[in-house]
Each structure stands twice: as C-alpha cells, then as structure tokens.
Amino acid sequence: MSTSSTPRRRGSERTLELLDVTLALAEEVGYRGLTVEAIARRAGVGKHTIYRRWPTIADLLLDALNHVWSSELNYRSQGAIRADLREQFLRSSYALSHAPLGPIYRAVIAAAQSDESLRGAIHSRFLKTVEESTLERISLAQQQGQLKSDADLAAVVEVLVGSLYYRWLLTDRAIDEGAVDGLIGMFMDAYGESGV
C-alpha cells in the first residue's frame, strides 16, 4: 500500500495551507471581518471542507494561532532554566504586542468575553499547548536538578503562563523586561535550587 500515505500527506498539507490562509486573511480584514466563504475561496476548497473539521471560524483561527505559536514560539534551548524562561517570555510578549498574532488574538479574546464556549476553545485549542510545553520545559529543569525536586510544578504552570496577560489585557503598559523578571524572579525564588 505504498500510495496510502499520499492522501494523508495531502490532507495535512491542505490543513497547513488553510491555517496560513486563515491567518493571512485575518491580518488583512481583522477577526470581525473574517468569513469561512473568503477563506475557502482563497484556499480553493469548498466550505464543507472547512466545516467538516472546524465547527466555527473561531476554532479554525485558534488552530491557526496555535500553529504559529507552537512552531515559532516553542522553547528553543535546554540550558539554564532562568535564562530559557526569560528568553521565551520576552519572545512571547513580543508576539502578543505585534501582528499577526497580537491584534487577532486580542480580538478573539474580546469576543470570548460574551461567549463562554469561545473561552473554552481559546484554552483547549491554544493555551493548553502553551501550558503543556511550559510544564514540559520546567519538568526537564527539575529532572536536571535546577528546580527543587519536591516542587509541585503542575500547580503553578498557570501562574507562569497566565500572569503576563494581566498587563497586556488590563493596562496600557507594555510587557517589558521588568514584568517578565518579576514573574520569573518569584518562580525561581520559590523553586530554584540555590546556585542556579
């Protein structure tokens, strides 16, 4: 069955193309202006192809954001945990503050405030990935002896992932190095092994 992988590969390529088209179009017209019709037209697929996989346009857009986030924003190093977290959080903060991710994501979050299922989708299709990769990264540091062996890291991953949203969503201040260092400082003061 040497041909059996071809349709699957084509399916996966088509998915990536749809995610790219969705993000490009969202950047052009904004979240509010985005339609399944326009995405389908530009990607050269039928609307049913989209609806079969993504029940709502928000689901599709969140998968697109997740695709960018996980390919561009994953932890890039396995060195000193403090420096790696710092680099990662500064890079994420930059992405939040710039196109394409920032403005589109912000608009989705605004829409989600009157739509609980969309808040659930933001988490399940996007932030869950961020929480998991963060927990994986700090768990590795714990195994390497950089973090205290008895620290319950799963209990605090939400604080690491979530804290900087406060500044982004609820103030007009930038997420600067001071904000990032405050968060990481508290985490390391709590769980860093001395000398790390």
Binding positions for a second copy, rule: CB under 8 A: 106-107, 109-114, 116-117, 119-120, 122-123, 127, 151-152, 155-156, 158-159, 161-167, 169-173, 178-179, 181-183, 185-187, 189-191
Report the nearest approach of a second copy to the CB of residue 166 (Å): 3
Closer residue to a second copy (CB): 44 or 120? 120
| Alpha carbons 23 and 112: distance in angstroms, whole number | 18
Closer residue to a second copy (CB): 34 or 40? 34
Report the nearest approach of a second copy to the CB of residue 41 (Å): 27
Report the nearest approach of a second copy to the CB of residue 21 (Å): 24
Give the dihedral of Cα atoms 42, 46, 48, 52; nearest 10 deg. -60
| Alpha carbons 21 and 61: distance in angstroms, whole number | 10
Pick from 172, 194, 195, 168: nearest CA to 183: 168
Write down the residue that tokens 């709502």 correspond to. Answer: 56
Closer residue to a second copy (CB): 146 or 163? 163
Report the nearest approach of a second copy to the CB of residue 139 (Å): 16
Report the nearest approach of a second copy to the CB of residue 48 (Å): 28
Pick from 137, 12, 16: nearest CA to 74: 137
| Rama region for 44: left / alpha / beta (φ>0; ψ in -120 to 50; rest) | left
Closer residue to a second copy (CB): 25 or 108? 108
Q: Which two tokens stand for residue 68?
A: 């960018």
What would you report as the CA-atom Rg of the chain, rounded to the nearest whole angstrom? Answer: 19
Report the nearest approach of a second copy to the CB of residue 22 (Å): 20
What distance lies between CA 80 and its chain's CA centroid?
A: 23
- Range list of β-strands (E), 48-141: none
